[in-house]
Amino acid sequence: MQYDYLIVGSGLMGATFAYLAHQAGKRCLVVERRSHTGGNVYCQEVAGIQVHQYGAHILHTNNRDVWQFVNAIAECNRYTNSPVANYQGKLYNLPFNMNTFCQMWGVTTPAQAKEKIEEQRSDAVRKLAGRQPSNLEEQALTLVGKDIFERLIKGYTEKQWGRSCRELPAFIIRRLPLRFVFDNNYFNDRYQGIPIGGYNKLIDSLLQDIEVRVNTDFLEHRQELTSLAGKVLYTGPLDAYFDYQLGHLQYRTVRFETEVLDIPNYQGNAVVNYTDRNVPFTRIIEHKHFEKFGSAVYDNPQTVISREYSMEWLPGMEPYYPVNDERNTVLLREYQALAAREENVVFAGRLAEYKYYDMAPTIERAMLLWSQERT
């Protein structure tokens, strides 16, 4: 055996695991289907700006170990995510907080805002008659009421998921904070930021001194590659590993329309959500605001924006968000039963576990897997 580990995929899962194993003296080979490493955190420099090629990525966590691990390898900036919603030309701060309530109804104190929300949600609460909300629409209406649901949730959610709010699970909306303070920080986590110089710095440092073969699809060279290593960490799609023999697991995907503009500042914020159903894209990302703050925004006379169009995934497209409905949950269990029978293969990460992992939980999972390997 030439290697202790063959690591399939150079996203955050593969790269973190490879780093930890390499640090412990293990011989690792990383193979990556794409022409570059990094998986979905990969950035491309366009007009001097780090463009998040596969969608905007903000690292946020309460886990100090993960935060310190990342910062020891690639220091993070002080970016705080504070998206703005544009509904028919009027702007509202997110997540739902005193600024939003003031913009929506002109209320200025928490007591006034609470009273207004009580009035807004009363109809929906009455209709539930004591039972739990059974879908996203009921959950949103009983949480924040009619105006916020109609202006800031309904259109955005239906565009993002391609389904009516009545067909979506309630839990999706529960992760949005509701605050009675003037605080536009989208996340409740203690630590938040973006690696200075972009995510490639983090990935390149994790993979430093490790053999990496890009443009190499494991599934096309399965036998030959497997024979090189004692164990495989597979981070590609679970159904692809089994040649889709039970059918395809479904995803939502995103189409990005990226433009370089000859102005220094297009929308004044990294993220603007378009919450009206009639606007075809869900949001516009202006990448420079992830890394330049205050007057530094004007150092570069150009800017790069990406409009995001959420779409149903078809084979051949990039798989982004797992669709956790009943069909896919059943299929996942069947594939997991097949995976459990594979010897010397660990299935890990967003695609191999068919699970929506944020970056910090991905790193945590890689750390856990490595600690299990060590023992």
Instruction: Give the count of residues interacting with ligand UDP (CB under 6 A).
Output: 13
Q: Check binding of 11 to ligand FAD (CB under 6 A).
A: yes
**Annotated catalytic residue: which of 283, 353, 354, 357?**
283
* Token pair in block for residue 141: 């209406």
Tell whether residue 152 is a contact of ligand UDP (CB under 6 A). Answer: yes
Q: 81: which residues sit within 8 A by CB, 6+ positions away? A: 58, 60, 185, 186, 187, 192, 270, 271
User: Taking CB under 6 A as the rule, which mask of x and - marks residues 215-244 in contact with ligand FAD?
Assistant: --xxx---------------xx--------
- What is the C-alpha to C-alpha distance for residues 363 and 209, in angstroms, rounded to an integer? 20
DSSP conformational letter for 259: E
| Near ligand FAD by CB under 6 A: residue from 49, 51, 58, 144 | 58
Note whether 13 binds ligand FAD by CB under 6 A: yes
Q: Which residue, among 70, 368, 66, 349, has the nearest Cα to 233 in the 3D structure? A: 349
Residues 137, 308, 353, 364: which is the catalytic one? 308
Question: Hey, what amino acid is at 245?
Answer: Q
365 is catalytic: no
d(CA 293, CA 265): 11
Name residue 154's amino acid.
Answer: K
33 binds, among ligand UDP, ligand FAD, none (CB under 5 to 8 A by kind): ligand FAD
Question: Does residue 82 interact with ligand UDP by CB under 6 A?
Answer: no
Residues in the chain: 375
Active site residue 174: no
| Other C-beta atoms lying within 10 Å of the C-beta of residue 146 | 15
Range 89-128, binding ligand UDP (CB under 6 A): 94
Residue 175 is among the residues annotated as catalytic for this protein: yes
Tokens of 374: 């060590």
Q: Is 350 a catalytic site residue? A: no
Interface with ligand UDP, residue 303, by CB under 6 A: no
Nearer residue to ligand FAD within complex by CB, 13 or 165: 13
E strand intervals along 84-152:
84-87, 90-93
Catalytic site includes residue 308: yes
Q: What angle do the packed helices 136-143 and 154-161 form, to 10 degrees? A: 150
Give the separation between CA 256 and CA 245, rounded to whole angstroms.
31
Is 356 a residue of the active site? yes
Of 151, 252, 350, 365, the catalytic one is: 252
Binding mask 247-276 for ligand UDP (x = CB under 6 A): --------------------------x-x-
Residue of 10, 4, 6 lying closest to 205 (CA atoms):
10
Judged by CB, which is closer to ligand FAD: 123, or 312? Answer: 312
Please indicate whether residue 374 is annotated as part of the active site.
no
Does position 339 interact with ligand FAD (CB under 6 A)? The reply is no
Of these residues, 42, 79, 137, 179, which one is catalytic? 179
Spatial strand order of the sheet with 251-261 comes to: 90-93, 84-87, 271-274, 283-286, 303-312, 251-261, 321-322
Residues at the interface with ligand FAD (CB under 6 A): 8-14, 31-34, 39-41, 55-59, 217-219, 235-236, 254, 320, 349-351, 357-360, 362
Residues at the interface with ligand UDP (CB under 6 A): 85, 94, 152-153, 156-157, 160, 172-173, 175-176, 273, 275
